[in-house]
Chain A
């Protein structure tokens, strides 16, 4: 259990760092969505399925979609 949770936390850290480092904003949004998805799995493992559901549907799906729609209107690459 502790190994699974540690692995997931490490994955979240990698995703968060990647989201701030990537110059391609669409990739950054995907990395941020990965953080949300892993957070949802963690919430489920820590016995909070209600929060996990909200995190997966809002954090991973809707927020990423709204960001991508916004990026389509602006520039895709960061200078």
Chain B
């Protein structure tokens, strides 16, 4: 009975979605705002990657909210899972030589790749969220493969808080110099060079640190618990 109800519900949802989406033509001509972003975005923000210019510049306040949601999720998980003082009782068997050596070789490469993704967020695809997730997957590799050390929670907290603080400070400086919160008050520079697009790379580096340390902290909490 429950199975039939579930299938019926799924069919209703599928019909509803398809009936509402079928009217929208695929790849329709862009509307006013999208056309403005595509035609003027590079000139207005100095960022070669238009997606980044929308995420960090035009819709920067939304991104601040997104980062806050992630922060609240990480803090909530930490509050639920953190044990009060108990040390890990289960003995951890050491990983084999091949596994631990492979981890140690791969880990710095993953870190460099993640940093590259978020430092070059205004030039190439990617940005703070993607780079942070890649860095967190590097820490996941260390936890699963080497089982040697843990990142210290203090360092993680410092990286996370300074990322958030830099984001908000840049926003407030924009309020001071540019007239509105998160306005791009720094010089735009030449498009397609590393030091261009004003505040965008600074904010994306801050987001990269914040997201990376938050996701690594989530994994740390979960593994410590299990």
* Residues of A near any B CB (own CB < 8 A): 49-50, 52-54, 57-58, 61-62, 65-66, 69-70, 72-73
Contact = CB atoms under 8 A, between A and B. Distances in A.
Contact of B130 (A53, A66, A69, A70): A53
Interface stretch (B87-95, B173-181, B216-224): B216-224
A30 B150 CA distance: 26
A46 to B, nearest CB: 10
B129 A54 contact: yes
Chain B interface SS verdict (over half)? helix
A57 B222 contact: no
B86 to A, nearest CB: 16
A33 B133 CA distance: 15
B206 interface: no
Contacts of B137: 57, 61-62, 65
B188 to A, nearest CB: 21
A66 B134 contact: no
Contacts of B144: 65
Dominant SS among interface residues on chain A = helix
Closest 3 interchain pairs by CB?
A: A49-B125, A57-B133, A53-B130
Contacts of A58: 133
B139 to A, nearest CB: 10
Nearest to B126: A53
A33 B215 CA distance: 18
Contact of A50 (B127, B133, B140, B219): B127
A58 B126 CA distance: 13
B125 A69 contact: no
Q: Which of A54, A57, A62, A70 has the most CB of B within 10 A?
A: A57
Contacts of B129: 54
B126 A50 contact: yes
A62 B215 contact: yes
B197 interface: no
Contacts of B52: 50
A54 B140 CA distance: 16
B133 A65 contact: no
Contacts of A66: 218-219, 222
B219 A73 contact: no
Contacts of A62: 133, 136-137, 140, 215, 219
25 contacts: A49-B125, A50-B52, A50-B126, A50-B127, A52-B125, A53-B125, A53-B126, A53-B130, A54-B129, A54-B133, A57-B137, A58-B133, A61-B140, A62-B133, A62-B136, A62-B215, A65-B137, A65-B140, A65-B144, A66-B218, A66-B219, A69-B219, A69-B223, A70-B222, A73-B225
